[in-house]
């Protein structure tokens, strides 16, 4: 009766074999986020996830690819059919599996949502070397518990992702970045119906508008006259990445943060150049100890010997 238990590809099977069942192990992606979430134990063996696009199905708005595929390669392949999967990492060398495991969303999150919502199916290698399937290659699915969400942002500590199916979207017809040195970013965001990004460094506000050209132009006209066209977003400071409640961004300054910053208005992500910011990522509710316990027990349940990405913790 195994009607849809589509067998894993040969590439995924050999990836599982390589991961094996014993000894500390980690997946090497594009090395673009290697130091996120702790330093990997020196003894860990490095493996690579399969790379390459297995199938892009434009009329289904999905793509299946190896987790080791560089995002740049994926972006190019999808663009051939006018589509994208907005993983938006800082570097196109980042691998699909790497972006998902780290779980960082790009600056277009305001419009496209977080990266966690892109993952429809994952084939991952469990700590005992077995292959596991989470989700399915369809755009809407509530069949069983949502292990896909759990994998995103888990920095490879619950399972090593070998192959994924991602949600795609049409590439917007028009794209414009605009900048103003004296606009209020909050007023700006509220004035717009659907900005893809509103960035702010304490002085300057950048806005990304995407969609039909007529819509983009109409939104640009809503902006205060101080906005002018720019080629793209500012470079994002790569020192510290803070995750704050969106309303906590009001009143941020370089002095509070200990360095220059770019904040994602309406989202709460703050990219800080360096140093030790005096603001901590929020969350100190009474249930935190219980949440910490759930996190520990989850890790213990999925990787009892702690062999997957030892040294790292989401």
Partner 1 sequence: MSPSSPELLAELRAALAPIRVLDSPFEKVLYARDASAVGYAPPGVVCLPLTTAEVQACVRIAAAHGRPVTPRGSGTGLAGGAVPLNDPVVIVTTKMNRLVEVDEDSRTAWVEPGLLNLDLSRQVAHLGLHYAPDPSSQQTCSIGGNVASNSGGPHCLLHGCTSAHVLAIEVVLADGSVCVLGGPEPDAPGYDLRGAFVGSEGTMGIATKILVRLMPNPPTIRTLLADFASIRDASAAVSAIIGAGILPAALEMMDANCIAAVENFAHAGLPLDAAAVLLVEVEGLAAGTEIAASEIVAQCRASGARAVRVAATVEERMLLWKARKSAFGAIANIKPNYYLHDCVVPRTKLVEVMEKVVDIVESRGLIVLNVFHAGDGNLHPLIVFDRREPGVEEKVQQAGKAIIEACVAAGGVLSGEHGIGLEKRDYMALVFSAVDLEHQQRLRDVFDPARRMNPEKVLPTGSWCGELHHVPEGAWI
Q: Of 42-61, which residues contact partner 1 (CB under 8 A)?
A: 57-61
Sign of CA dihedral 270, 275, 278, 284: positive
Q: Is 111 in the site for partner 1 (CB under 8 A)?
A: no
Smallest separation, CB 256 to partner 1 (Å): 17
Distance CA 79, CA 87 (A): 14
Q: Is 17 in the site for partner 1 (CB under 8 A)?
A: no
Q: Is 108 in the site for partner 1 (CB under 8 A)?
A: no
Q: Which of 9, 47, 116, 175 binds partner 1 (CB under 8 A)?
A: 116
User: What 3-state class would DSSP assign to 154?
Assistant: coil
Judged by beta carbon, residue 70 or residue 134, the one nearer partner 1 is 134
CB 122 within 8 A of CB 134: yes
Judged by beta carbon, residue 226 or residue 295, the one nearer partner 1 is 295
User: What 3-state class would DSSP assign to 208?
Assistant: strand
Q: Is 251 in the site for partner 1 (CB under 8 A)?
A: no
State the DSSP code for 157.
S
Q: Which of 194, 226, 228, 274 binds partner 1 (CB under 8 A)?
A: 194
Q: Is 4 in the site for partner 1 (CB under 8 A)?
A: yes
Q: Is 234 in the site for partner 1 (CB under 8 A)?
A: no
Q: Is 240 in the site for partner 1 (CB under 8 A)?
A: no
Distance CA 94, CA 103 (A): 12
State the DSSP code for 248.
G
Interaction with partner 1 in 120-149: which residues (CB under 8 A)?
Answer: 126, 130-134, 136-149
Smallest separation, CB 204 to partner 1 (Å): 20
Sign of CA dihedral 290, 257, 188, 83: negative
Distance CA 72, CA 82 (A): 15
Q: Which of 14, 22, 91, 283 binds partner 1 (CB under 8 A)?
A: 283
């Amino acid at each position: 009766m195994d009607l849809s238990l589509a067998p894993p590809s040969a590439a995924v099977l050999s990836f599982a074999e390589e991961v094996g069942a014993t000894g500390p192990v980690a997946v090497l992606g594009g090395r673009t986020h290697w130091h996120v979430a702790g330093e990997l134990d020196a003894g860990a063996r490095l493996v690579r996830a399969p790379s390459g696009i297995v199938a892009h199905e434009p009329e289904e708005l999905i793509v299946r690819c190896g987790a080791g595929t560089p995002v740049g390669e994926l972006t190019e392949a999808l663009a051939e059919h006018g589509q994208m999967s907005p993983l938006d990492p800082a570097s196109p060398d980042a691998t699909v599996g790497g972006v998902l495991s780290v779980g960082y969303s790009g600056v277009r999150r305001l419009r496209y949502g977080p990266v966690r919502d892109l993952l429809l199916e994952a084939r991952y290698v469990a700590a005992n070397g077995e292959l596991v399937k989470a989700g399915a290659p369809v755009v809407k699915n509530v069949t069983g518990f949502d292990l896909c969400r759990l994998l995103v942002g888990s920095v490879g500590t619950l399972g090593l992702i070998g192959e994924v199916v991602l949600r795609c979207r049409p590439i917007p017809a028009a794209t414009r970045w605009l900048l103003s040195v004296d606009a209020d970013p909050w007023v700006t965001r509220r004035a717009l119906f659907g900005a893809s990004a509103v960035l702010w460094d304490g002085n300057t506000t950048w806005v990304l508008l995407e969609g039909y050209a007529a819509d983009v132009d109409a939104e640009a006209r809503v902006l205060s006259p101080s906005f002018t066209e720019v080629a793209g977003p500012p470079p994002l400071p790569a020192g510290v990445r803070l995750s704050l409640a969106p309303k906590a961004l009001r009143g941020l300054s370089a002095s509070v943060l200990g360095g220059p910053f770019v904040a994602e208005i309406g989202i709460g992500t703050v990219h800080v150049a360096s140093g030790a910011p005096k603001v901590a990522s929020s969350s100190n509710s009474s249930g935190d100890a219980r949440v910490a316990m759930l996190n520990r027990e989850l890790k213990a349940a999925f990787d009892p010997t702690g062999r997957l990405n030892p040294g790292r913790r989401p």
